[in-house]
Structure 1
């Protein structure tokens, strides 16, 4: 009975997520159609090559042949404005197809960019990817499709090597990032899902990190339903910074519901949790050096220990040197050694004394006769 009820519940859930065209479109990050239920409705979301992931730098494979990423015509403004919209899941900006990427196995044309974030200032969560378990306040994705193999985004997104996405981790700080104001200043015009606004074209390259040579590369998926596993991911190592006020605007201005909805919901925490890596390999274009091997307390303890060790070693060396100097023959022997006696003046005296001793030692002994000469 319980099994049948579960089947009915899943079927009703599926019907709820299917529009009149037969395409599953409705989903959320939490609730009855939240990410814990995605795989039941969108089968690819339960695949073995899902995104995002946690990048464990100790397990990445350095590949020195990976070239720096080179954006193509990101700074070309053209004659038309960009279109910024609220999809109900994120803030979305369409990109012209003349923008693209080199430094990848194929030529990829730009499609769109969007953002993921948390609940605002004070909580360092909001990014989808993490590095060594550390998340950031937000994350930018720039989506491209393989223009060499496929005719458009719709065709490419379901195929292997169909998409390439740049991932940029974003942190909050005190300084305003003027490049991101090109988007954030217009959020008030798209507060509700379905709204759009035209904004002045700007240099999209300014949204990316300065260093595009250091990144992680792996094969994954879209991080939202239908979670097609067709994405070649490039996650930059360098993080971009925006101000706390900019982050607050991103996380507090938008709603995930439409304007005519009775109860509106804030558009927050629109990030997917990290997925198992399984047997995938994460490549690194650089040799990674850990940001912090020890905690501040451990570093302080090591420094104090080294100082104490140096002081103790110095005391021991001074004690040994003092002991050696106090017992050295170079200091003691000269004070007890008798002064040298001159011998040249006393030779005659010693001879006379010897003769006296010889003549007086045995007075009764007769003198030896004088030797006889042979004839």
Structure 2
């Protein structure tokens, strides 16, 4: 996510201020705790969600977006902040189904690099999807904006949507991806027509994983109530390649431009946290080896039974 969530209030500044950070190199994620102590905390995000260890909680209600289909804003602000592409959202977009009333602030993406189909931040049983979208909200009952809310436990609520590859392009995502050429360089901003944000979400908003975590970039504030949907959204390979190849992490004036790729954080330790699931745990499946063994065992049993019947028939003659 954005450092200090500077775009959460609908603002679109150029590059984020404060200590420089990157995903790799001397200012890479392994060094984040040096300038941002919270990044070394015990409740960091993202995580590798072990689905069989998630605790089913039938009391978790479906996520219910309000105002997502018809945003009041006439247009949205889309920006490249040097770390990701950010779409500022109006606070009229609300979420129900959470402990408090939450209003939308922005959404952004994480992805890999061309030729690689792995770029999401949250993993499911070790699998990293090609990309991930985060929709950031803040608690409107207790805080006036997201910048204030990020300093308090549970002040932010983020929806995590995993993006997998499909055979067809996803029309809702074209509302964003088709404008990336206007914000190729860090610090650039453009205005795009408003559209249904709900169309970016999975159809099943009742199936998700829930845990307490943090922002996935500095300052790594441990203030996020995470909702990671079980069902992915599918985009085409061409759409994924737009994310992977259209943006630069450097300003236009930089003599050596750097492509904006691999903007995802590695999984963090779960420590003592619990991951909840809004749906019952599925029966644990058999491995390929177990299936083969069962098949051979069944075939052998049938063969022995057939031989026994044949021998018994001979003796009776």
Change (3 A) 1:79 1:218: closer
- Secondary structure of 2:128's match? coil
The answer to whether structure 1 residue 252 and structure 2 residue 256 are counterparts is: no
- Separation in 1, partners of 2:72, 2:223: 30
Higher helix share: 1
Matched, 1:153 2:146: yes
Give the TM-score normalised by the residue count of structure 1: 0.77
**Does 2:30 correspond to 1:36?**
yes
* CA distance in 1 between partners of 2:244 and 2:285 (Å): 29
Distance of aligned partners of 1:142 and 1:243 in 2 relative to their CA distance in 1, 3 Å threshold:
same
Higher relative contact order (CA 8 A, sep 6+): 2
- The number of residues matched between the two structures is 301
Judge conservation of contact 1:83–1:196 (CA < 8 Å) in 2: yes
Structure 1 vs Structure 2 CA RMSD: 1.7
Match of 1:80 among 55, 66, 74: 74
- Cα distance 1:290–1:180, how it changes in 2: closer, same or farther (>3 A)? farther
Which position in structure 1 is the counterpart of 2:266? 273
- 1:312 aligned onto 2:306: no
Q: Structure 1 residues 186 and 217, CA, compared in 2 at 3 Å: closer, same or farther?
A: same
Please list, as runs of the form range in 1=range in 2, the aligned pairs for 1:143-182 lying within 5 A after superposition: 143-182=136-175
| Structure (1 or 2) with the greater strand fraction | 2
User: In the alignment, which residue of structure 2 is the partner of 1:51?
Assistant: 45
**Equivalent residues of 1:120, 1:137 under 8 A apart:** no
Deviation at 1:78, TM superposition (A): 2.4
Change (3 A) 1:213 1:200: same
CA distance 1:291–1:97, change in 2 (3 Å): farther
* TM-score, length-scaled by structure 2: 0.90
The offset of 1:320, in angstroms, is 4.0
Residue 309 of structure 1, CA deviation = 2.3
Runs of 4+ in 1 over 6 A off after TM superposition: none
Counterpart of 1:102 (choices 83, 96, 100) is 96
Q: What SS does the corresponding residue of 2:225 show, helix, strand or coil? A: strand
1:125 aligns with 2:111: no
Partner of 1:27: 21
Change (3 A) 1:298 1:178: farther
Shift of residue 308, structure 1, vs aligned partner: 2.6
Q: What displacement does 1:306 show? A: 5.0
Match for residue 58 of structure 2 among 64, 82, 105: 64
Distance 1:316 1:253 in 2: 67
* Mean CA deviation greater in 280-289 or 128-137: 280-289
The reply on whether 1:92 has 2:86 as its aligned counterpart is yes
